[in-house]
Amino acid sequence: MSEILCVVGARPNFMKMAPILDALHAYPELHPFLVHTGQHYDEDMSRIFFTELGLPAPDRDLEVGSDTHARQTARIMMAFEPLVQERAPKMVVVVGDVNSTLACSLVAAKLLVPVAHVEAGLRSRDRTMPEEINRLVTDQVSDLLFATSADAVDNLLAEGVAREKIHLVGNPMIDTLRRHLPAARARGAVERFGLTVRSYALVTLHRPSNVDRVDSLRRVFDALCALSEQIPIVFPVHPRTRERMDRAGIRKTPGIHVMDPLGYLDFLGLMDQARFVVTDSGGIQEETTALGIPCLTLRPNTERPVTITEGTNRLLGEDPSAIVPAAKPLIEGKFPKPQSPKLWDGNAGTRIARALARHLKVD
């Protein structure tokens, strides 16, 4: 029996890990041991995501909680190291680009345990983003690198990663979306929130550049208020953003339906039926591409350029005043014509499990 430690720490990780755990059932010789670092800020929301995605309860919860980047990363490493020594796994699988990804890959590499990185090779070229540092370091210590798109493979090769370590497998987050889309539609979130199909814009914002400074946040809300005069806005608010809104004295505005964070299925249902999405999230750029929903990204760069070249995404930069002009043609019904990126077919988890089995010689 070959044990694999599968690490999650925050909500985006759950969507990426779920199809991999499912696919590993085809290999009885491989035993996945699910580790939740507890990086996520909200236990209740974590529980909802585990339930809705059909994830098993974690075999171990490290319960590290929120902190600064340095302290959180250190606490994860301190908690994960004895677990690796205790379990003696044949592989550690990390996903995405959060602090848990970096911390657990470093621990494994120093203990000479092979590391597999799911979503390897994404690059924004912006080292002011903590996630970019996490991606770069994790890829350098990984033994198996699972890329979601061809540009990610090119990035890894350019950085000197050996070609035999790299596997183009597609996007496991899209596996999860395809599997759960019928259930999301059946929940009727659009009707429950008093909306009609394609009649609203969905907004999510949490990046420090958009929400941490009072002046930036006020400019974002000024732009959203102007947009709400043309189309209703649904805004599930990230706790980080909510705290900044309270600090800045920003209150609810007519036309902007501010609400608490949603579970995966309700959010997916709203995204699937929106006219367009305004976001600064990386994962939502991918999900809107898979759904064919126009996406306006309030960032100067993206680590997911395939969502622009083949998908529905458009970068607006960091100036919120760009939102209304960019939304105008979408409100008028002029939509981009996307195509699905290669291997975003719902089978990434199967390819990843197969590659793990081959690497561990149990296929």
Active site residues: 206
Bridge partner list, 30:
2
- CA–CA distance, 7 with 109 (Å, rounded to integer): 14
- CA–CA distance, 304 with 282 (Å, rounded to integer): 7
Bridge partner list, 259:
236
- CA–CA distance, 37 with 8 (Å, rounded to integer): 6
Beta strands in 122-275 (DSSP E): 144-147, 166-168, 201-204, 233-236, 256-259
Which residues are within 8 A (CB) of 51 and not within 5 positions of it... i.e. 6 or more apart?
Answer: none
- CA–CA distance, 294 with 202 (Å, rounded to integer): 11
- CA–CA distance, 271 with 299 (Å, rounded to integer): 19
Tokens representing 317? 């930069």
DSSP run (H or E) holding 16: helix 11-24
Nearest partner of 211 among 246, 263, 170, 185, judged by Cα? 246
- CA–CA distance, 132 with 246 (Å, rounded to integer): 29
State the angle between helix axes of 348-359 and 172-186 in degrees (0 to 180), rounded to the nearest 10.
Answer: 140
Question: How far from the centroid of its chain's Cα atoms is residue 181's Cα?
Answer: 17
Tokens representing 45? 């929301």
Nearest partner of 24 among 349, 360, 322, judged by Cα? 349
Q: Tell me the chain's radius of gyration from C-alpha atoms.
A: 20
- CA–CA distance, 256 with 203 (Å, rounded to integer): 10
CA atoms within 13 A on the CB side of 120: 31
